[in-house]
Amino acid sequence: MTVKIESSWKSHLEPEFEKDYFKSLVSFLRDEYATKTIYPPGSKIFNAFDHCPFQKLKVVIVGQDPYHGPGQANGLCFSVADGVRQPPSLQNIFKEVQKDLGQPVPQSGNLERWADQGVLLLNATLTVEARKAGSHQNRGWEQFTDTVLQLVSDKKENIVFILWGAYAQKKGAFLDQQKHLILKSPHPSPFSAHSGFFGSKPFSRANQYLSSKGLTPINW
């Protein structure tokens, strides 16, 4: 089965595309995209991988679901397309970047600039029906993205995993803490950001770790 995904990821994930669960997922998605409004656009489903080749990978940020409002989701967790109003969680992420690093808040919420530097912005579920949060959960995406995390944990070294909130932390529970840096805090959502997300300094801590391993830090 042909899946359009960046070549270095494809070489590692090819066996996954032949498994029954993934074939069922593809069949489900074909029907969904043909009959409903689904986000992100089909060409952007694997955008997180396309902007961040396996060999460039330095940081993984784990999200849950794509945004389900018009024009928001662009295939990267927490990210929105250029010109789209920044959702509250993303606004809080940028506030923490500002406090942590003293940088101005970006005008654009498009995080492709992070992905291009080696940040994999991975949602647990890569698609969603318009205005129906969680509508594509338990269809196979979680198994696929667990495989991605396991692959990175096993095959790479000195990766920074940033796990915001209980869902991401549970999903990343198996990551190898001996080989990688695991940063955990509450979610940047307005409901939890003041409970420990603000002040957690994930961006400077990630860069300090990367620098200590001889790697170029991320320009957040």
pLDDT tens readout for residues 105-163: 999 999 999 999 999 999 999 999 999 999 999 999 999 999 999 999 999 999 999 99
Rounded CA separation 188/46 (Å): 24
User: What share of the chain has pLDDT > 70, as a percent?
Assistant: 100
Rounded CA separation 172/190 (Å): 23
Cis peptide before 66 (omega within 30 of 0): no
Instruction: List Cα–Cα distances, 186 to 89, 137, 162, 183, 191, in angstroms.
Output: 11, 22, 11, 10, 10
Rounded CA separation 87/48 (Å): 19
Sign of CA dihedral 16, 58, 111, 62: positive
Looking at residue 2, its pLDDT comes to 74
Tokens of 4: 């359009």
Q: What one-character DSSP code corresponds to residue 195?
A: G
Q: Does residue 185 register a pLDDT over 70? A: yes
Which sequence positions are flagged as catalytic?
65
The H or E element containing residue 120 is strand 119-123
The candidate with the shortest Cα–Cα distance to 72, out of 63, 83, 64, 62, is 83
Instruction: List Cα–Cα distances, 169 to 165, 174, 217, in angstroms.
Output: 6, 10, 23
Checking DSSP bridges between strand 59-63 and strand 160-164, what pairing results, if any? parallel
pLDDT tens readout for residues 139-150: 999 999 999 999
Average pLDDT, the chain: 97
Rounded CA separation 135/39 (Å): 11
Q: What one-character DSSP code corresponds to residue 121?
A: E
Q: Strand, coil or helix: what is 9?
A: helix
User: What share of the chain has pLDDT > 90, as a percent?
Assistant: 99
Q: Is the pTM of this model over 0.85?
A: yes
Q: Does residue 1 register a pLDDT over 90? A: no
Rounded CA separation 87/5 (Å): 27
pLDDT tens readout for residues 66-112: 999 999 999 999 999 999 999 999 999 999 999 999 999 999 999 99
